[in-house]
């Protein structure tokens, strides 16, 4: 995981998403909005096959965008695993311009 930049208070979500979509399109790697361990919200990047988070590096995964070069398949097993590790129930994914909410199965 590489921190691309921190998100400042008052930034518009539309502007952040437009920036991220441009980055994904030009670099063809995954980007995400996360809360870092110190509480800072940031845009982070990974590689073509995803973002590897070290234990304790982030506390929340708000949204991520899959690279355009990958086939559209929805959330990956790694996406679900990240939520389980973080103890989150759901997150958002943008894939090929489509906004998808995905949820970890909590059991009966």
User: Cβ–Cβ contacts within 10 Å for residue 107, how many?
Assistant: 4
Per-residue pLDDT, 67: 86
Give the CATH number of the domain where residue 47 resides: 3.40.140
Instruction: Compute the average pLDDT of residues 4-22.
Output: 95
Does residue 34 sit within a domain? Answer: yes
Grade residue 106 by pLDDT with cuts at 50, 70 and 90: low
Average pLDDT taken over every residue of the chain = 90
Does residue 108 sit within a domain? Answer: no
Instruction: Compute the average pLDDT of residues 74-92.
Output: 91
- pLDDT at residue 45 is higher than 90: yes
Does residue 45 sit within a domain? Answer: yes
- Hey, which of 26-30, 37-41, 47-51 has the most confident mean pLDDT? 37-41
pTM greater than 0.75 (yes/no):
yes
Instruction: Compute the average pLDDT of residues 63-85.
Output: 87
Does residue 50 sit within a domain? Answer: yes
Grade residue 8 by pLDDT with cuts at 50, 70 and 90: very high
Domain of residue 75: give its range: 2-103
Domain count, the chain: 1
């Amino acid at each position: 995981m590489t921190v691309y930049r921190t998100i400042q208070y008052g930034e518009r979500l539309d502007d952040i998403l437009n920036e991220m979509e441009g980055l994904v399109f030009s670099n063809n790697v995954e980007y995400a909005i996360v809360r870092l361990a110190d509480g800072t919200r940031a845009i982070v990047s990974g590689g073509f096959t995803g973002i590897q988070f070290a234990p304790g590096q982030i506390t929340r995964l708000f949204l991520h965008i899959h690279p355009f070069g990958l086939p559209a398949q929805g959330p990956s097993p790694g996406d679900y695993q990240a939520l389980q590790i973080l103890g989150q129930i759901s997150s958002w994914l943008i894939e090929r311009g489509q906004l998808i909410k995905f949820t970890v199965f909590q059991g009966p």
